[in-house]
Amino acid sequence: MKKKKKVNAAILIIGNEILSGRTQDKNIAFICNWLNLNCGITVAEVRIIPDVEKKIISSIRLLSTKFNYVFTTGGIGPTHDDITAQSIAKAFKVKYGYHKEAFKILENYYGKKKFNDGRKKMAKMPKISKLILNPSSAAPGFITKNVISLPGVPSILNSMIENCKKYLVKGLKVHSKTINLFTVESNISKQLENIQKKYKKFVDIGSYPFFRLGKIGVSIVSRSTSKKKLALVSKDLIKVIKLKKIKILKI
């Protein structure tokens, strides 16, 4: 597909187990990294919500209009609290039921005798959806309009993510450069603000404190779709660093 200059996405994590703290989410970082490195898509918002139909519907309606893509994780399994597929159908006001291709995939995988009602439930989804094939456990994910629904189990999601590519319009890759300094943020905050203003249309600059080797430091991270602009920002930062005689930490 053609590349757009800026393509963004939101991630909607669905699951009571994440909010209760019983399960630690591992999908956010993986999806963010994969989208940026492989598709040039920037994740601009992440939400975590419970398995509550009204919450899912309202979140899908809002996020699908704000962003190019919405990635959902969780709630597409065989149990009673897996309500993501049905909720997405209601959000878009489309028919929900057995997807013929998904039904056939699962029936072939389990065999007719072991293809029970719980497993059949995983073939139910918005009928307009296109499938995202699952090489790990057969049960497919699906894309409904601009909403891509994947399972919550990290190992299965990881194995499926490449099959999302064909549905995505790629953006320009965001490059980043990090400079680690032994200083405090307040020592360079004004200079960073000035550099950010100078390049605000092209580069995003962030500062992140750290404690390492018994000393307080700051990581300056610059992000841009333009390597040339990043290089210019780095030059300006180096001037500030030299002027203030700040030590650079090499990692």
H helices of the chain, in order, are 16-20, 27-34, 53-66, 84-92, 100-110, 117-121, 154-160, 185-198, 227-243
Do residue 40 and residue 103 come from a single domain? yes
Do residue 115 and residue 179 come from a single domain? no
Residue 224 CA to its chain's centroid (Å): 18
Of 124, 154, 171, the residue that ends a domain is: 171
| Nearest Cα to Cα of residue 78 among 24, 25, 137 | 137
Q: For residue 169, count CB atoms less than 10 angstroms from its CB and return exposed for 0-12, middle for 13-18, buried for 19 or more.
A: middle
> The domain containing residue 180 runs over which residues?
175-249
Q: How many domains does the chain have?
A: 2
Of 122, 150, 171, the residue that ends a domain is: 171
pLDDT of residue 4: 58
Do residue 56 and residue 159 come from a single domain? yes
Do residue 154 and residue 185 come from a single domain? no
pLDDT of residue 50: 97
Residue pLDDT tens, the chain, 251 long: 455 578 999 999 999 999 999 999 999 999 999 999 899 999 999 999 999 999 999 999 999 999 999 999 999 999 999 999 999 999 999 999 999 999 999 999 999 999 999 999 999 999 999 999 999 999 999 999 999 999 999 999 999 999 999 999 999 888 999 999 999 999 999 999 999 999 999 999 999 999 887 889 999 999 999 999 999 999 999 999 999 999 998 75
pLDDT of residue 3: 54
Do residue 84 and residue 119 come from a single domain? yes
pLDDT of residue 230: 96
Do residue 61 and residue 179 come from a single domain? no
Two tokens, residue 42: 């920037």
Do residue 155 and residue 195 come from a single domain? no
Do residue 36 and residue 93 come from a single domain? yes
Of 151, 171, 191, the residue that ends a domain is: 171
Do residue 118 and residue 209 come from a single domain? no
Do residue 202 and residue 100 come from a single domain? no
Distance from C-alpha of 215 to C-alpha of 119, rounded to nearest angstrom: 55
**In a 3-state reduction of DSSP, which class is residue 35?**
helix
CATH number at residue 217: 3.30.70.600
CATH number at residue 132: 3.40.980.10
- Amino acid in position 248: I
